[in-house]
Amino acid sequence: MCGISGWFDLKAPRLPDRALVRAMNDAIRHRGPDGDGFHFEPGVGLGHRRLAVIDLVTGDQPMHSGNGDACLIFNGEIYNFRELRAELESCGHSFKTRSDTEVILEAWAEWGPDCVNHLTGMFAFALWDRRDETLFLARDRLGEKPLYYAILPDQSLVFASEIKGLLPSPLLDRTIDPCAVEEFFALGYIAEPRTIYANVKQMPAGTTMLIRRGRQPSVQRYWDPAPAAIDNHEMSRLDDALLERLERIVKAQLVADVPVGTFLSGGVDSSGVTALMARTAPDTVTAFTIGFHSREFDETEYASLVAKHCAAHHIIDRMQGDETDLVERLPAIFDEPFGDSSAMPTFRLMQLARKSVTVALSGDGGDELFSGYRRYGFHAREENLRRLLPAAIRGPLFGTLANFYPQFDNAPRFLRARHTFHELSVDSRMGYFLNVSVLADDARNALFSDGLKRSLQGYHAVEVLNAFAGAAPTDDPITRAQYVDLKTWLPSDILTKVDRTAMANSLEVRVPMLDHTFVDWALGLPSALNRRGSEGKILLKRAFEKLVPRNTLHRPKQGFSVPLAKWFRGALGTFLEQKLKDEFSAAEYLNIATVRRLIGEHQAGRADNSRALWLIWMFESFMEREHAASAQRAFTQHAARTLSN
């Protein structure tokens, strides 16, 4: 796992600003503490930070092809690099190292831009080919590894693994995108390709960009999730077929020249991955768990049962209090507002694991692939009702019921009929948006300042989901929702959280269930095999019963959440109140009176506004950093003008 950064002249082969590229690379030092490397020539500058995992001696980057025509910087792991190497050797290619990096270089020489279709793994890379003076950028299929870019006013392009890698450029326009603010408060994340900055974009998962001077760069999609056809033999033995596929993937992802461990939350997905690792790995598995002092959030009991069953070395730590110090660090880790509060225990988990290993396996992806989220069941039932009643009747009927039914935000979902009525009053896409949104339309309308509402010009975050709902390769409501989540929630929330918290601790995380062949296979399963009423992941649980104790699998889903409601009735609420009294940096975007009301209601126990308050805190903390950075830039520019005079 590494970090990459670079500069490319879109206009002419001007000499690169070496100091800028070095500063960009230094900004992502945490992604690769084991060394750095650079390549400069007219029109291009490439930087690399290395976290050594495979071929520790000869795997340094940038790496050049044997004939010197191509130069590569690469972040990630290619799990089928040995098979690809053998295939390329049969085509006449020779190799000097044992690294997967060199395999990408030779794959480019053999297949050009189509090389990405031959790669199995997680990756983001930049390849400079001096033969035709092209820069090729690529990102893996599911979005495990990030890649951001911006086109500057001087017609140069900068790119980096994280937004912070772009910020050293004095030409970068840091104007806030109001649509990103809408997405953040609606969904809890900013969906790719958008970022908080209007002029910074993230390459979407499963895309490439071939860049030539004098031409406008354009993003090309090379992969999209597509349900695979499952043959009759596999259908007759699905439990074993699932385990066989996943075990092969886990085995491939254990390849490393450094220690490898696994995360073990005690939930279904991580338990299965841990058990498969224990079955496959040559040595005792080391498993890491973060717990909570509150039993309501703690799953260490179940994690310990699985660890004992797998004969794993189990290391447990617990969250301490309200973690105020970590809360303050999150904006610097993510570079933009990020609303998933589970980033805190995830960060502590990464921190814990890094003390013992350099690589860890994760169980992420199971919910999206095997219908684990309760919202899939709600959405399917609502879709059935939508089919029974025409929109002309359904809209007025359920819209009226939603207006009159009391709102119970703290009640279990099945008692929150107002939410269900509201979702039934609209079409399928808006209904699913309401299902996944963090703050409802009326809550955002009350929270946003008049200026922000004007600048949105009617933009609504449902467009994030609309962009993919119509392209879903199925009419099944659950599989369609899973597809939308794979395109939005997974890369922009889950995988962003995993990458940033892991890389902040210089840890590589691998996700077996996101092998693209496994994704397509899982999507090809009839949704009835995965969900029955309120219970999801039926097939996955049944298969994992062969690996771990049954009582760890068949229990209510807990998730990896933190006691926000309690925290905001304590120190976090007090700190947020103090921010309002001192200087509220987000005042340009948020209505201060509404923020005060939300704090007051929550602390008095009249409502649970913790989700809204968390988003406000994250946005305010980000804006504080922006204001400080703006002041520093102004000071630096003033000092430079003074010296020049």
86-97 confidence digits (pLDDT tens) = 999 999 999 999
More confident residue, 441 or 555: 441
| Model pLDDT, residue 121 | 98
Residue with tokens 């009640």: 411
More confident residue, 277 or 580: 277
**148 is a domain residue:** yes
DSSP bridge partners of 101? none
| Model pLDDT, residue 370 | 96
Q: What is the 3-state secondary structure (H, E, C) of 319-357?
A: CCCCCHHHHHHHHHHHCCCCCCCCHHHHHHHHHHHHCCC
| Model pLDDT, residue 562 | 82
| Model pLDDT, residue 419 | 59
| Model pLDDT, residue 509 | 98
Tokens of 418: 């107002």
Q: Is residue 111 pLDDT above 50, yes or no? A: yes
Q: Is 401 in the same domain as 532?
A: no
Q: Is 290 in the same domain as 160?
A: no
CB atoms within 10 A of CB 509: 24
- In this prediction, residues 521-536 reach a mean pLDDT of 92
Global confidence as pTM: 0.93
**82 is a domain residue:** yes
The backbone torsions φ and ψ at residue 587, rounded to the nearest 5 degrees and listed phi first, read: -60, -25
- Mean pLDDT is highest, among 196-200, 559-563, 599-603, for 196-200
Q: Is residue 371 pLDDT above 80, yes or no? A: yes
Q: Is residue 640 pLDDT above 70, yes or no? A: no
Last residue in a domain, options 221, 242, 262: 221
Residues composing the chain = 645
Q: Is 391 in the same domain as 432?
A: yes
**510 is a domain residue:** yes
Q: Is 533 in the same domain as 575?
A: no
Confidence at 413, pLDDT banded by 50, 70, 90: very low
Distances (CA, A) of 623 to 190, 196, 619, 628: 15, 11, 6, 8
Which of 5-9, 357-361, 632-636 is predicted least confidently? 632-636
Q: What percent of the chain has pLDDT over 90?
A: 72
| Model pLDDT, residue 404 | 59
**601 is a domain residue:** yes
What whole-number distance in Å separates Cα of residue 193 and Cα of residue 216?
A: 17
Cα angle 268, 273, 279 (rounded to 5 degrees) comes to 125
Q: Is residue 265 pLDDT above 50, yes or no? A: yes
230-255 confidence digits (pLDDT tens) = 888 888 899 999 999 999 999 999 99
CATH number, domain with residue 264 = 3.40.50.620
CB atoms within 10 A of CB 454: 10
The backbone torsions φ and ψ at residue 210, rounded to the nearest 5 degrees and listed phi first, read: -100, 115
Q: Is 510 in the same domain as 639?
A: no
Which of 145-159, 389-403, 488-502 is predicted least confidently? 389-403
Last residue in a domain, options 552, 581, 605: 552
Q: Is 632 in the same domain as 527?
A: no
**167 is a domain residue:** yes
**456 is a domain residue:** yes
**Would you please indicate which residues are annotated as catalytic (active-site) residues?**
2
Q: Is 358 in the same domain as 394?
A: no
613-636 confidence digits (pLDDT tens) = 999 999 999 999 998 887 666 656
- Number of compact structural domains in the chain: 4
Last residue in a domain, options 501, 517, 552: 552
19-62 confidence digits (pLDDT tens) = 999 999 999 999 998 889 999 999 999 999 988 786 666 668 99
**226 is a domain residue:** no
Q: Is 470 in the same domain as 524?
A: no
The distance between the two most distant Cα atoms of the chain, rounded to a whole number of Å, is 81
Ranges of H-type helices in 408-473? 417-424, 428-436, 441-447, 450-456, 462-469
Q: What percent of the chain has pLDDT over 70?
A: 90
| Model pLDDT, residue 408 | 46
CATH number, domain with residue 164 = 3.60.20.10
What whole-number distance in Å separates Cα of residue 124 and Cα of residue 114?
A: 15
Q: Is residue 405 pLDDT above 60, yes or no? A: no
Own/partner contacts of 277-280, CB < 8 Å, gap of 24 or more, are: 277/250, 277/361, 278/310, 278/311, 278/312, 279/247, 279/547, 280/247, 280/250, 280/251, 280/254
Which of 344-348, 472-476, 523-527, 641-645 is predicted least confidently? 641-645
- The residue among 435, 424, 376, 429 whose CA lies nearest residue 402 is 424
More confident residue, 537 or 408: 537
Q: Is 503 in the same domain as 585?
A: no
Q: Is 170 in the same domain as 306?
A: no
- In this prediction, residues 487-515 reach a mean pLDDT of 98
| Pairing outcome for strands 2-9 and 359-361 | unpaired
Which of 200-204, 271-275, 588-592, 625-629 is predicted least confidently? 625-629
Which of 137-141, 170-174, 298-302, 482-486 is predicted least confidently? 298-302
| Model pLDDT, residue 406 | 54
Q: Where are the beta strands (DSSP E) in 516-561?
A: none
Confidence at 397, pLDDT banded by 50, 70, 90: low
178-190 confidence digits (pLDDT tens) = 999 999 999 999 9
Q: Is 480 in the same domain as 495?
A: no
Q: Which domain holds residue 458?
A: 374-484
Confidence at 411, pLDDT banded by 50, 70, 90: very low
How high is the mean pLDDT of the chain? 90
Q: Is 480 in the same domain as 542?
A: no
**227 is a domain residue:** no
